[in-house]
């Protein structure tokens, strides 16, 4: 599949070769652990054991690479499994990483509670501030970690600018592109070295699968990551890979609708008397709006807001919602809402990444926009 094709075409066709046996237009689910060899070492298509490679996973990995404009994609059992593999590939004890002051709680937990015990050090910086990132660099800094838009405060980082900082420091730039998806933003083209995804979210899109991915351009790094992927073993199973591949086929049309609905929701919230602050990069008053407009096709489906009345008022909004389902995760066709301080970001409590107690995070789905606005209006009271 030529990389000259449009994103929408690549999403449907890249990696999706018709089955050579039957002509099936959807790649089969190769629910198999091992493969018959034609004599010792005589592998068919390079397949010997499904931890090392599986045809369904290969189809997904080829698709992921095409969508992000990368040389290689690797699919994992979860987003955190992908992150863990990346950290253990890039880093050794004593190395240092700059992480954002607004990041997914699970990512922070991985650095603070797991990697730190292995001797990896980290500093927290506001990645929307290029000078702050530069100041956080240390002699053993090997990576700069970025989420843009960030989770849950929807901060925006100038990827190209931070890529320049990373190059000057001899460090890798890692961009978690989960909130944007490759349809809205392609970090490798802006200078990133590694793109991370929780494919559980927008890539899968239907709240029915857990997965993760890494996409890279550097051939040497891709081989190192593939080695660790096999050695550590937290790979995407064939059915999970198939579900993500299926979800990706509609990614473009879903992201258009997510963004459209989120814009309507953000507009409603900015005018509501019980909302003190709306966090959405599509709003002209958002601090990162101009950068987001430059590096994103649209502004995505995630909206956060702060509620007048503090933490208990925010919790009550979550409890009163009906169409917005109270639950963790994001990126599915159905709308979700949560209280980050007590849910997804509880692990960041007491740290520099602690989120405001009055914050509510929305994953705006693809339902009828007017229905979503009505539910938020009644939830706010």
Q: Which of 95, 158, 176, 375 is catalytic?
A: 176
Question: How far is Cα 178 from Cα 197, in angstroms, rounded to an integer?
Answer: 5
Q: Which of 47, 104, 202, 280 is catalytic?
A: 104
Q: Which of 13, 137, 154 is nearest to 3 (CA)?
A: 13
* Residue 328 φ then ψ, to 5°: -80, 175
Beta strand 336-338 with 359-363 is antiparallel
Question: In 170-237, which ranges are continuous DSSP H helix?
Answer: 181-184, 219-232
Q: Is 176 a catalytic residue?
A: yes
What is the side-by-side order of every strand in the sheet holding 275-279?
Answer: 275-279, 302-307, 359-363, 336-338, 325-326
- What is each CA distance from 311 to 147, 315, 336, 339, in whole angstroms? 25, 6, 19, 9
* Residue 270 φ then ψ, to 5°: -65, -25
**242 alpha-carbon distance from chain centroid:** 18
Which pair of tokens denotes residue 245? 């591949």
Contact between 30 and 55 (Cβ < 8 Å): yes
Q: Is 297 a catalytic residue?
A: no
- What is each CA distance from 357 to 55, 148, 152, in whole angstroms? 46, 22, 12
Question: CB-side exposure of 19: number of CA atoms within 13 Å?
Answer: 12
Q: Which of 57, 72, 142, 201 is catalytic?
A: 201
What is the side-by-side order of every strand in the sheet holding 121-125?
Answer: 72-76, 212-216, 194-198, 172-176, 141-147, 96-100, 121-125
The helix/strand/coil state of 121 is: strand
Catalytic residue set? 51, 104, 176, 201
């Amino acid at each position: 599949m030529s990389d000259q094709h449009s994103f929408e075409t690549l999403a449907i066709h890249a990696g999706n070769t018709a089955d050579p046996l039957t002509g099936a237009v959807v790649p089969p689910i190769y629910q198999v652990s091992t493969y018959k060899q034609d004599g010792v070492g005589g592998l068919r298509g390079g397949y010997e054991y499904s931890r090392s490679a599986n045809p369904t996973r290969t189809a997904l990995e080829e698709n992921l690479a095409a969508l992000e404009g990368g040389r290689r994609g690797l699919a994992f059992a979860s987003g955190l499994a992908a992150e863990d593999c990346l950290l253990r590939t890039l880093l050794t004890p004593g190395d240092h990483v700059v992480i954002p002051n607004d990041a997914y709680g699970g990512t922070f937990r991985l650095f603070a509670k797991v990697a730190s015990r292995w001797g990896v050090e980290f500093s927290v910086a506001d990645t929307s501030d290029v000078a702050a990132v530069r100041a956080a660099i240390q002699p053993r800094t090997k990576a700069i970690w970025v989420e843009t838009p960030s989770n849950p405060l929807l901060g925006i980082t100038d990827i190209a600018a931070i890529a320049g900082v990373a190059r000057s420091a001899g460090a890798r730039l890692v961009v978690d592109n989960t909130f944007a998806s490759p349809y809205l933003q392609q970090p490798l083209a802006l200078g990133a070295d590694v793109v991370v995804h929780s494919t559980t979210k927008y890539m899968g899109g239907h709240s029915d699968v857990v997965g993760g991915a890494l996409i890279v351009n550097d051939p040497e790094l891709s081989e190192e990551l593939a080695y660790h992927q096999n050695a550590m073993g937290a790979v995407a199973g064939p059915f999970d890979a198939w579900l993500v591949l299926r979800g990706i086929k509609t990614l473009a049309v879903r992201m258009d609708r997510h963004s459209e609905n989120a814009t309507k929701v953000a507009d409603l919230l900015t005018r509501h008397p019980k909302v003190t602050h709306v966090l959405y990069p599509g709003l002209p008053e958002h601090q990162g709006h101009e950068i987001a407009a430059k590096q994103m096709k649209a502004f995505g489906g995630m909206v956060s807001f702060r509620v007048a009345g503090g933490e208990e008022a925010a919790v009550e909004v979550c409890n009163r919602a009906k169409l917005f389902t109270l639950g963790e995760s994001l990126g599915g066709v159905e709308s979700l809402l949560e209280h980050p301080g007590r849910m997804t970001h509880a692990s960041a409590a007491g740290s520099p990444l602690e989120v405001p107690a009055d914050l509510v995070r929305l994953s705006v789905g693809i339902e009828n926009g007017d229905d979503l606005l009505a539910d938020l209006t009644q939830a706010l009271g």
